[in-house]
């Protein structure tokens, strides 16, 4: 059961919309994701591919303890800001408007009016590689991380986990939801993403499925203003 009131809408065209109440963290997190997408349009494509891929291999199902769109979005944004990637700056460090400790009112107004967050000039590799190469690099990046031993944050940081926290749950640190004692990612499974001629995901040593690393066509992509952080 969710910790905040949620209204689910499903249109006759199959469009799903979730409306949450009394959740300031979600408002600020949504602006953070929107800003990342606006800074580097390739981010939206990689996020879309990652969500579609995990859905295809049946690992995107938050109601049954697997990944939600939120989890996958934050895994992608961590990668884009990681020191080995740097296709986005460390946005929370340079944008006061995205400060997790600030009021939710200003982020809500920015989202309502469609304005953009001012991001001071920063040196990052916005156009250093194609979307396909970004996806391959993302797969390779996570294949080299031991998520049983470390925690990752939404700004590209990596922290060592304490021994008593090696519980099979992926630990994703999100300062927008810091009051919650449990890690934001709760899939009870080990994931090893293999870099080969195709991307495949392995659960507890047993291959679940295999899917080629194909980038989506332009007509498949949602608008950059879409609410990427809808599922929690």
Q: What is the pLDDT of residues 170-198, one digit of tens each?
A: 888 899 887 654 444 444 434 433 323 33
Fold of 6-220: Poly(a)-polymerase, middle domain (1.10.1410)
Answering whether pTM is above 0.85, one says no
More confident call, 68 vs 232 = 68
The lowest-confidence range among 20-24, 72-76, 77-81, 104-108 is 20-24
Q: Give the three-class secondary structure for 159.
A: strand
**Highest mean predicted confidence (pLDDT) among 117-121, 122-126, 152-156:** 152-156
By C-alpha distance, which of 98, 117, 191, 106 is closest to 147?
191
Give the rounded percent of residues in the chain with a pLDDT score beyond 90.
Answer: 22
Order of all β-strands in the sheet with 158-160:
158-160, 150-153, 172-173
Please say if the pLDDT value at position 78 is more than 90.
Answer: yes
Q: What is the pLDDT of residue 73?
A: 93
Q: Is the model's pLDDT at 203 over the cut of 90?
A: no
Name the CA radius of gyration of the chain, rounded.
17
Cα–Cα distance for residue pair 4/19, rounded to 1 Å: 10
pLDDT in tens, 101-122: 989 889 989 998 989 998 887 5
Which of the four pLDDT bands, split at 50, 70 and 90, describes residue 60?
confident
| Domain residue extents for the chain | 6-220
Pairing of strands 150-153, 172-173: parallel
Residue 3 has pLDDT above 70, yes or no: no
DSSP code for 154 = T
| Cβ atoms 76, 48 nearer than 8 A | no
> Tokens standing for 153?
């944050």
pLDDT mean over 78-102: 89
Within a 10 A sphere around the Cβ of 103, how many other Cβ atoms?
Answer: 10
Q: 138 with 76: CB under 8 angstroms?
A: yes
Q: Is 112 left (phi over 0), alpha (psi -120 to 50) or beta?
A: alpha
Q: What's the whole-number average pLDDT of the chain?
A: 73
**What is the predicted pLDDT for the residue at 74?**
92
């Amino acid at each position: 059961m969710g910790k905040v009131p949620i209204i689910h809408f499903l249109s006759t065209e199959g469009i799903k919309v979730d409306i949450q109440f009394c959740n300031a963290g979600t408002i600020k997190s949504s602006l953070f994701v929107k800003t990342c997408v606006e800074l580097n349009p390739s981010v939206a494509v990689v996020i879309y591919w990652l969500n579609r891929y995990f859905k295809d291999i049946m690992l995107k199902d938050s109601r049954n303890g697997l990944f939600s769109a939120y989890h996958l979005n934050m895994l992608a944004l961590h990668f884009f800001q990681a020191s080995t990637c740097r296709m986005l700056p460390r946005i929370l460090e340079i944008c006061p408007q995205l400060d997790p400790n600030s009021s939710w009112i200003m982020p809500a107004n920015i989202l309502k009016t469609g304005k953009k967050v001012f991001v001071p000039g920063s040196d990052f590799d916005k156009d250093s590689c194609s979307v396909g190469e970004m996806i391959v690099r993302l797969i390779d990046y996570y294949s080299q991380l031991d998520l049983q031993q470390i925690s990752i944050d939404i700004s590209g940081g990596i922290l060592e986990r304490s021994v008593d926290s090696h519980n099979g749950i992926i630990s994703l640190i999100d300062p927008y939801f810091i009051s919650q004692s449990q890690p934001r990612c709760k899939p009870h499974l080990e994931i090893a993403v293999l870099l080969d001629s195709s991307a495949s995901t392995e659960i507890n040593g047993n291959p679940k499925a295999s899917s080629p690393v194909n980038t989506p066509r332009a007509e498949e992509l949602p608008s950059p203003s879409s609410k990427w952080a809808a599922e929690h």
